[in-house]
Structure 1
């Protein structure tokens, strides 16, 4: 797909994290020494590189750091330490003064797309209006023909004037995917995008995410707990206790489930 005017071409490396650490809480109550330490290291020295044009699933048990990793990589949260690069450009670097919120927002709007479990559609806007909202917010020109083609590609060409409450859950998630695609981002982050869907709708949504990679050349990073969903990806990165705990290429649902069952062993042995 052609790059929008003024946007830099995609580089070979879509996403790089270097020694990313994120801690929540404090080590003692009010610094008085009273009570137990409450600091939780959600991410512990994560270094990861993802090539452009790939589909990666991120998996791990509850509390392993999956969503924190996605939020830090997507610029929705700032790591305490480390470097995050998107499309070859630094987004956050703990060694330098932080970007202002306005600059970070502009960066996200041009380089990053989002798909969330709860769709995040505005109920008063139509399908077409929800889809073009990121372009409007970024002050970019809206190509109505391309918007319509994008919605047609996700199976909503006849739903442009409908509002979210007139759509099924699967259709709402299709709108969210179209909204992520229409800005032509370098990376699309998807946080449990099929968690609220039935099996058939989930399969359709996962196929659309895979098409975003294979047809449109996007890079997709998806957090999921479902081995079947992970099998749609090119590779799986496993997390446990905030650390990388393994990698699986060309995943199958059975192989993913087997690896998940042994994550503790992988962390203990440094796999």
Structure 2
């Protein structure tokens, strides 16, 4: 369906591997462990949701896995290649070649057109913009007619589709989505989730999505549940009701664990 042949990094059967990933924040009073030796392997072409109570470490997991934060210890492999530790420049080059991002905020450059926003990461990486691939992805996402418009002329749902196109055009090994429907109305949010599902089915894209919404989480093939920086549960072929039930139980367990301590993270 996509017909995109952009030559990104070689595909690996294993899209993402986290090995004993740990992140400790040194606070003013005491260190806070946001991730506690998390290990996780996700195959290429999979769609995984990450859920957990507030402060469970899900956003930290995404940021460390995507190279936006440096873990305290452990390893991150994306598309079979280890995230480098040779400084910010090396990490930035790695991200541009292997990682795509979709956030709740669209992060579009207001003075660039849609087409220019989509190809901007390639320009920043010093590569020739893939105009044909850009046109193809815009067509698949149903926004070809918006190519010459600027972000201020678009609805929130249209801007999020532009952000998805920007993430997909370079064929990243993993697309990380952090609450991608959080700023959208219900109809636009459902459309964005369908587009992510379609990217997995038709494009072979690997998607890792952090969300607090059981309905959004159920659009994935599996759900990983975090609590206190650890993976505590997994659910395959999820449905929204079961996701909500497990989240309710997890919230109760975490609340009980922290009752009287005032230390809920």
Q: Same fold (TM over 0.5)?
A: yes
The answer to whether 1:122 aligns with 2:109 is yes
Relative contact order (C-alpha < 8 Å, sep 6+): which is higher?
A: 2
Alpha-carbon shift at residue 19 of structure 1 (Å) = 0.6
SS at match of 2:53: coil
| 2:55 equivalent to 1:63 | yes
1:125 partner SS: coil
Matches within 5 A, 1:91-106: 91-92=83-84, 98-106=85-93
1:40-55 equivalent positions in 2, closer than 5 A: 40-55=32-47
CA–CA separation in structure 2 for the residues paired with 1:264 and 1:198: 26
Question: Residue in 1 aligned with 2:25?
Answer: 24
Aligned to 2:97, which of 110, 113, 120? 110
8 Å contact kept, 2:17–2:78: yes
**Cross-structure match for 2:68:** 76
SS where residue 37 of structure 2 aligns?
Answer: strand
- The residue number in structure 2 matching 1:11 is 12
CA distance in 2, matches of 1:103, 1:139: 15
Q: Shift of residue 133 of structure 1?
A: 0.3
Whole-angstrom CA distance in 2 between matches of 1:144 and 1:51 = 29
Could you say which residue in structure 1 is the equivalent of 2:259? none
> Residue by residue, what CA displacement relative to the aligned partner does 1:209-263 show, whole Å, maximum 9, x if unpaired?
1111111111000000000001110000000111111000000000100111112
Residue 245 of structure 1 aligns to a residue whose secondary structure is strand
Q: For residues 87 and 59 of structure 1, what CA distance do their matches in structure 2 show? A: 23
Q: For structure 2, list consecutive stretches of 5 or more residues without a partner in the other structure.
A: 257-265
Equivalent residue in structure 2 for 1:231, among 218, 221, 228:
218
Question: 1:33 matched to which residue of 2?
Answer: none
User: CA-atom RMSD, angstroms?
Assistant: 1.6
CA distance in 2, matches of 1:263, 1:48: 20
Displaced runs of 4 or more, over 2 A: 1-5, 264-268
- Give the stretch that moved more between structures: 217-226 or 37-46: 37-46
The Cα shift of 1:145 comes to: 2.0
Segments of 5+ residues of structure 1 without an aligned counterpart are 30-36, 93-97
What's the secondary structure of 2:62's corresponding residue? helix
> How far 1:152 moved relative to its partner?
1.3
Q: CA deviation at 1:99?
A: 1.9
Aligned to 1:260, which of 221, 243, 247? 247
Assess if the C-alpha contact under 8 Å between 2:9 and 2:98 holds in 1.
Answer: no
How many Å separate the matches in 1 of 2:186 and 2:14?
33
